[in-house]
Structure formats: structure tokens, C-alpha cells
């Protein structure tokens, strides 16, 4: 019997310009890995600013292993924490797109570096490093609120579908998903301490802001934020930040939410869940209501229930086969072979901004 020779050839990464001469489509290109078209998961936006060296220096393997979980609402097992258009809210999980948006990686300490923007990806023919290596840990793990002491249960939550985006809170205390800006202020606002559930629910935890002791991620809605007739005024204001009030009204009046369930899961989510929410608003989040950072309300069982989360196995337990991360200088995207896409929101074409001096499209 003769010797066996095994050869492994890496797939070539390339940009495939859209075959379209109209100027409004100039710069659009698809990303391919060998024969596979790679779709980028995104709710909106498709700009990709390539780093020096082009596409080949921007592609990385996603982080493997454990650390993934989903957060189930302690007050309603049908609802999960998830993101949509940068906002964090609770939602029923209706499809695989919802499931991946409701899956997060728990990272001990503060790991919200900007090192992925350096463009130090794999050279042609090299095995790409892991995303964890690229992302790194560029900021201090000490919570300022802890006086320099490291909290043993200090964590950050990174989105699975939006790699490099972390759960944090805006100045108005609305919970959002955002990219780090490289500052310790961001790392502080994106760091949380896993406390025993305020509700006392076995196996559940409450997320206390590391930089604001006594403030928790919550679905509780105070009485003064509920308008007459059961409409949630705070939710309506948040909705108007994401959709214009006219757009919300037009979507509802036209009956899109009732007639087109696939639109309700995407374009209509906020208009159906917030602007046209059902009467009789509850003091805890309905499906689609935004989450906020709230100050602890002692001895209020409604607050403690709405601020407790069951840490469940991830709704999306692993990355799709062939998934990679392309780390643009503006933002990273999770790339998935188009044939693996089911209900996820994605783009097949990116608006490419080439690095200065780049001429060819091959990686």
C-alpha cells in the first residue's frame, strides 16, 4: 500500500461587485468564500469599511466553546431578552432570527476592546485567529463603583448575531446594544454584576449595573409612565425615536401587522408592540416593550419579578457551519453561508469602502 497524502487548501475570500451600471448601486459587492456566497446578519445598514490589506485581513473565526446563553423573563417564560435595531426588549421567539438575536456570550470582566479595528486578520493561506484573540481585553476589569476591587461576578454580554456589540444603557437608561468607543466609561456602562434574583426565583439572576449600584435591568413599568387607556407613553416615546410617529400610524392603519405576519416580525415589530400596544398595559413588559435600567424599588414584588432573569441554555447553541466574522473599521458583521440562512435578517450585498490604494477585489 502506498503513502497517503492529504492536502488542505484554504478557501479564497473575494469581493464580487454587483453587476449593475446604475450609479446608485456603485460600490455594492457580495462577499464569497470559495464557491459560497456569505450573507451578513444585520437589521439595518450594510456599510463595510475594509481595513488596510483588504478583505483577507478582516476575516476571523467566531469564538467557539461555551459562554453562550439566553435570558428568559422571570415573570413570563414565553419572553426572552433580545435586540432589534439596537434596542433591548423582551419578545416571544418566533423564528431562528429571533433566536440568534436572543443569544448572548457572557464574558467575565470587561472585554470590550476596539482591537478588531486594527485589521490584523489572516494573511492569504494563513489560519485565521479566533475572534476572542482579535477582540482582546483592552480595558480595566475593575468597576469604578467597587473602589478598585474586582467583582467576582462582573460580566459583559456580547451579542451573538452582532459580534463586538455589547449590552449597555443609554443616558436615558434605555437598554441598548452598542459598539465600544474605547473609553472606560463605555466599559463601565457595559459591565453588570450577576446578583441572586431579586424575586428569589431559584436559578435566576438579576443584572445590577456595575457603575450604578442599586440599579437593575428591568421590564418594570412605573405607574406614572402608563398613560390613559393603557397606552405606554414611555414605550411610545422610545418608538418615535426608532420610527416616526407618522410611520407607526401608517403601518398600523394599513393593517400590515395583521395581514403580513412576516412584516410584524421585522418592520412592524415596534409599531405593533409599542405604538399600537393593546389596552390595559401591565406594570411589567409586554412582548416588544423596551427594557430599562431601573432603581431598586424595595418591597415591590412586581419590580423584583420584572428584574429577574432565568439563565437558560442558548436558543442558538452554536454558530452555523461555515460562519465567520468580517471586522470592518466601522463595525463587524457575522457572515453566514447564504444556504444556512433561514429566517435571520441579513444583507447579501455590502456597500464597500476600500482602504486607500486598494485595487483588486480578491482576498
Give helix 233-242 / helix 245-253 axis angle, nearest 10°.
Answer: 100
The residues pairing with 104 across neighbouring beta strands, listed in sequence order, are 69, 159
Q: Is residue 244 part of a domain?
A: yes
Give the end of a domain, one of 230, 254, 281.
Answer: 281
Q: Is 32 in contact with 339 (CB distance < 8 Å)?
A: no
**Secondary element (H or E) of residue 312:** strand 309-312
Q: CA quadruple 158, 161, 163, 167: dihedral positive or negative?
A: negative
Residue 23, burial from CB neighbour count under 10 angstroms (0-12, 13-18, 19+): exposed
Q: Is residue 275 part of a domain?
A: yes
Q: Is 345 in contact with 74 (CB distance < 8 Å)?
A: no
Domain ranges, residue 48: 19-60+319-353
Q: Is residue 263 part of a domain?
A: yes
> Cell numbers 435591568 correspond to what residue?
217
Which bin fits 30, alpha (ψ -120 to 50), beta or left (φ > 0)?
Answer: beta
Q: Is residue 125 part of a domain?
A: no
Q: CA quadruple 140, 144, 150, 153: dihedral positive or negative?
A: negative
How many domains are there within the chain? 2
Per residue of the chain (363 residues), what is the pLDDT tens digit? 678 888 877 778 999 999 888 888 888 999 999 889 999 999 888 999 998 888 888 898 888 767 899 999 988 888 899 998 788 988 889 889 999 999 999 988 765 554 333 344 444 334 445 555 555 533 444 333 344 445 668 899 999 999 989 999 998 899 999 988 877 788 889 999 999 999 999 989 999 999 999 999 998 877 666 544 334 444 444 444 444 445 555 555 555 454 444 444 444 444 444 343 333 334 444 555 678 999 999 888 889 999 999 999 999 999 999 999 999 988 999 999 999 998 888 999 999 988 765 544 444
Neighbours of 92 (CB within 10 A): 14
Amino acid at each position: 500500500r502506498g503513502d497517503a497524502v492529504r492536502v488542505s487548501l484554504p478557501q479564497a475570500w473575494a469581493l464580487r461587485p454587483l453587476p449593475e451600471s446604475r450609479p446608485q448601486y456603485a460600490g455594492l459587492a457580495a462577499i464569497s468564500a470559495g464557491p459560497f456566497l456569505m450573507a451578513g446578519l444585520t437589521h439595518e445598514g450594510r456599510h463595510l469599511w475594509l481595513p488596510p490589506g483588504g478583505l483577507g485581513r478582516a476575516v476571523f473565526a467566531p469564538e467557539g466553546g461555551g459562554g453562550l446563553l439566553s435570558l428568559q423573563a422571570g415573570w413570563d417564560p414565553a419572553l426572552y431578552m433580545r435586540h432589534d435595531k439596537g434596542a433591548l426588549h423582551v419578545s416571544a421567539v418566533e423564528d431562528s432570527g429571533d433566536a440568534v438575536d436572543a443569544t448572548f456570550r457572557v464574558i467575565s470582566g470587561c472585554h470590550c476592546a476596539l482591537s478588531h479595528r486594527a485589521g490584523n486578520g489572516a494573511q492569504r493561506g494563513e489560519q485565521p485567529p479566533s475572534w476572542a484573540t482579535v477582540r482582546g481585553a483592552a480595558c480595566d476589569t475593575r468597576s469604578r463603583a467597587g473602589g478598585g476591587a474586582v467583582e467576582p461576578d462582573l460580566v459583559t454580554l456580547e451579542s451573538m448575531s452582532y459580534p463586538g456589540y455589547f449590552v449597555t444603557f443609554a443616558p436615558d437608561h434605555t437598554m441598548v446594544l452598542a459598539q465600544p468607543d474605547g473609553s472606560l466609561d463605555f466599559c463601565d456602562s457595559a459591565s453588570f454584576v450577576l446578583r441572586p434574583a431579586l424575586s428569589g426565583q431559584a436559578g435566576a439572576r438579576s443584572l445590577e449595573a456595575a457603575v450604578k449600584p442599586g440599579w437593575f435591568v428591568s421590564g418594570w413599568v412605573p405607574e406614572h409612565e402608563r398613560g390613559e387607556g393603557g397606552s405606554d407613553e414611555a414605550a411610545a416615546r422610545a418608538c418615535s425615536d426608532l420610527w416616526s410617529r407618522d410611520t407607526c400610524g401608517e403601518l398600523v392603519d394599513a393593517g400590515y401587522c395583521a395581514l403580513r405576519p412576516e412584516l410584524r416580525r421585522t418592520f412592524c415589530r415596534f409599531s405593533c408592540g409599542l405604538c399600537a400596544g393593546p389596552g390595559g398595559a401591565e406594570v411589567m413588559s409586554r412582548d416588544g416593550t423596551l427594557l430599562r435600567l431601573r432603581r431598586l424599588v424595595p418591597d415591590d414584588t412586581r419590580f423584583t419579578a420584572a428584574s429577574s432573569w432565568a439563565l437558560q441554555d442558548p436558543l442558538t447553541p452554536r454558530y452555523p457551519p461555515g460562519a465567520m466574522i468580517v471586522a470592518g473599521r466601522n463595525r463587524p458583521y457575522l457572515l453566514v453561508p447564504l444556504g444556512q440562512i433561514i429566517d435571520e435578517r441579513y444583507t447579501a450585498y455590502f456597500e464597500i469602502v476600500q482602504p486607500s490604494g486598494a485595487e483588486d477585489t480578491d482576498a
